[in-house]
Amino acid sequence: MAPANYGNCPVLASKLPPRAGIGLKPQHFRDVLETRPDVGFFEVHAENYMVSGGPFHHFLGRIRELYPLSLHGVGLNIGGAEPLDEAHLARLAQLIERYEPASFSEHLAWSSHGGVFYNDLLPIAYDQSALERVCRHVDVVQERLGRTMLLENPSTYVEFSSSSMSEAAFLTEVVRRTGCGLLLDINNAHVSCVNHGRDAVSYISSLPLEAVGELHLAGFTRDTDASGAPLLIDSHDAPVDAVVWELFGGVVTKLGPLPTLLERDNNIPVLPFLLAEARRAESLMAVGGDCRGESVRGLEQVP
């Protein structure tokens, strides 16, 4: 199937190189410094570095001298009902000033309420009230940090019956109102669409692709829900699945090479395995979608 024709679709400028990167994990600190692998960038979770010193900062500082850095937040509570945590935002601003990352991103989700912090990124209702709240929060973050942030599409397992717009329409409007960019997590798109009985190709086609500044790829876990229907868990504990590679091929066939992170947060393998996945992503980018020279399922055009 031929890739979709989106027309002229300029990609949001990014300071990250249009290459594959991997998540920087403590068990790989020394290997990275000793071998200096040929990888486009490293990404770290901001909350793991919100202290003034220690071994994490020691190694990150040395590695930052050698590679571009993507900073990925998991605790800003962008979708939360309460105002943003000023202390958390201040720590984030200090971290960005310290390392000058090429990119900063966060999730379209909420993770705390009433002083209680949850170990998850939870879904929001896609309605007018939530839209105004999320846009207000994004504006506050971008003004405080003095930079454009990327907002990531979430992986979800339940959704609100009160939603009055689709997730893609919601993200499109947030991008339009705030000027933020989009972090397109292709694994999240697949996971959520399977869980809710939707088509990932159509979902991705409906997003504001002109605003994509970074892509994420990851693995998932297969399960079933109480009715026996397929349920995918965004576990980040396995290699990238074939269907996610296929979706990625369709995206880069149309948009061209983009900064692409290979996420792995659990069951972490040795560094060479992650580097091999990064090389596969770059092979797909280099030939416009398929490193084997065969056709891949493209993104279908949505009227």
Least-confidence region, from 11-15, 21-25, 140-144: 11-15
Residue 46 is classified by DSSP as G
Residue-level pLDDT at 11: 41
Place of tokens 């868990």: 233
Least-confidence region, from 97-101, 263-267, 297-301: 297-301
- For the chain, which domains are there? 20-298 (3.20.20.150)
pLDDT exceeds 50 at position 299: no
Query: Residue 214 and residue 78: Cα distance in Å, rounded?
Result: 19
pLDDT exceeds 60 at position 190: yes
Residue-level pLDDT at 120: 66
| β partners of residue 72 | 45, 105
Least-confidence region, from 101-115, 142-156, 260-274: 101-115
pLDDT exceeds 90 at position 192: yes
Q: How confident is residue 230, by pLDDT bands cut at 50, 70 and 90?
A: confident
Give me the chain's average pLDDT, please: 87
Query: Residue 207 and residue 165: Cα distance in Å, rounded?
Result: 13
Q: Which of 190, 195, 170, 191 is nearest to 250 (CA)?
A: 190
What is the pTM (predicted TM-score) of this model? 0.88
Q: Which amino acid is at 201?
A: V
pLDDT exceeds 80 at position 239: yes
Query: Residue 75 and residue 118: Cα distance in Å, rounded?
Result: 9
pLDDT exceeds 50 at position 7: no
Residue 2 is classified by DSSP as P
Residue-level pLDDT at 116: 59
Tokens of 78: 């962008």
pLDDT exceeds 70 at position 283: yes
